[in-house]
Homo-oligomer: A and B are copies of this chain.
């Protein structure tokens, strides 16, 4: 299966996507649409941590951390494990980081393009992937 076919295949898949499927995808993005939750995800990237460590590491309040961890776990992005009094969270869906990097790249390109518009002296480098 070549790339062209793959692309076309996904395209028609998306075009025929039902309302429920769209809503699920939107919900997934919604979970990632709050800086506090991203903070928690990033804090967990270096390894699993309990709630107290996350509170200390992020500066968020305990109640807030608990709530957001709940949302992330419900979404399947995090997993949890009890150990005595502690609850230890870990990244369950590592593809999250690919997404973040994707967005970062996209933003980078956008910012570069804007800078280009403001100071048209410099030439565009071939950095834009798309």
List residues of A whose CB falls within 8 A of some B CB: 10-11, 13-15, 17, 19, 22-30, 32-35, 37-39, 42, 45-46, 76, 93-107, 109-110, 129-130
What are the 4 closest A-B residue pairs judged by CB atoms, nearest first? A30-B33, A29-B33, A29-B32, A22-B35
Dominant secondary structure at the A interface:
helix
Given known A-B contacts A26-B33, A33-B33, A110-B76, A45 and B98 have beta carbons under 8 A apart: no
Indicate how many identical chains form the complex: 2
Q: B99, A102: Cβ atoms under 8 Å?
A: yes
Given known A-B contacts A28-B103, A103-B25, A107-B28, A130 and B39 have beta carbons under 8 A apart: no
Q: A94, B130: Cβ atoms under 8 Å?
A: yes
- The listed residue (B96, B97, B129) touching A10 by CB distance below 8 A is B97
Q: B25, A42: Cβ atoms under 8 Å?
A: no
Q: Provide 18 A-B residue pairs closer than 8 Å at the C-beta atoms, listed in order of the A residue.
A: A11-B46, A11-B97, A13-B104, A15-B45, A15-B46, A19-B35, A22-B39, A22-B42, A23-B35, A24-B107, A25-B107, A26-B38, A28-B106, A29-B103, A30-B33, A33-B33, A94-B130, A96-B106
* CA gap between A78 and B30 in the complex, in Å: 19
